[in-house]
Amino acid sequence: MRIALAGAGAFGEKHLDGLKLIEGVEIVSIISRRLEQAQEVAAKYGAIHASTELDDALARDDVDAVILCTPTQMHASQAIACMDAGKHVQVEIPLADSWADSEAVLKKQQETGLVCMVGHTRRFNPSHQYVHNRIKAGEFNVQQMDVQTYFFRRQNMNAKGQPRSWTDHLLWHHAAHTVDLFAYQAGKIVKANAIEGPIHPDLGIAMDMSIQLKSESGAICTLSLSFNNDGPLGTFFRYIGDTATYIARYDDLVNGREEPIDVSGVDVSMNGIELQDREFIAAIREAREPNSSVAQVLDCYRVLGELERQLAA
């Protein structure tokens, strides 16, 4: 399986680290906004091609699939371009920053029949897989999810604290993780509300946001998001259910008393990004729909679109 990766920043390297652990995968091409960065990362991971243009990778007959870790605003158009070129594609979260663009990507996937997967990593973290497996077994039902997504990001920075060329978004990026995960664990979302704090004078986005969700099962979710939080960073999920309470911190899981739960046997790795990439590669090889396909996650973007309209009003 021969892969091109576009977007050689902090998250791009996380994917590259995961891909090198998957048997039979070759990293062929690295695309980045700066050629020197593309060349440096290509040398590090053994890729034979580096460029600033995605089209250069799409034109290669030795590229089977593409992983997009580019700015949010480019995701939908680039995913469509990949499929137009006959390449399978994994789009890092979010799929798009509008409902219309999200629908356009699904339409293209249906036209081409190619694998189009979206990087909803929470579906793959062993912590959330453990909870999902209990739900599927009828041993646990979500009553409430309480989620905090907190960063300190008053400037355009990536996950390594390095300057980035684009502005991130609480609603279309960070809320997408939880909106999809809540539906994945508790059922289709039937009600959603949102409020936001002041708009940052330079970034032009709300730095604080609160979202309420209700699923068809009756479960509720409260999501608090901030780019103003000068403290512990990341996303923390509390599952309150009918038989247990769980707290998930990325790939780790504890119960409501903060007692660790061993999730090392849930999957072949403890790294959610690697597991996500393994699913992408396996779906292509097996000619099947992947978990977190564009079709499976599309409803998340319907909800985000509804919330955007609420906030605009």
CATH of 2-120+273-290, picked from 1.20.1070.10, 2.40.50.40, 3.40.30.10, 3.40.50.720, is 3.40.50.720
Q: Which residues on adjacent β-strands are paired with residue 269?
A: none
Query: Which pair of tokens denotes residue 53?
Result: 């243009």
Instruction: Dump pLDDT digits (tens) for 55-113.
Output: 999 999 999 999 999 999 999 999 999 999 999 999 999 999 999 999 999 999 999 99
| Backbone torsions φ then ψ of 254, nearest 5 degrees | -130, 165
Is 80 exceeded by the pLDDT of residue 19?
Answer: yes
Residue-range domain boundaries for the chain: 2-120+273-290, 125-266
Contact by Cβ (8 Å): 20, 45: yes
> Given this model, what pLDDT does residue 229 score?
87
Beta bridge partners of 206: 199
Superfamily of domain 125-266 in the CATH hierarchy: Dihydrodipicolinate Reductase; domain 2 (3.30.360.10)
- Give the pTM: 0.94
Q: State the Cα–Cα distance between residues 174 and 137, nearest whole angstrom.
A: 29
Q: Is the pLDDT of residue 164 over 70?
A: no
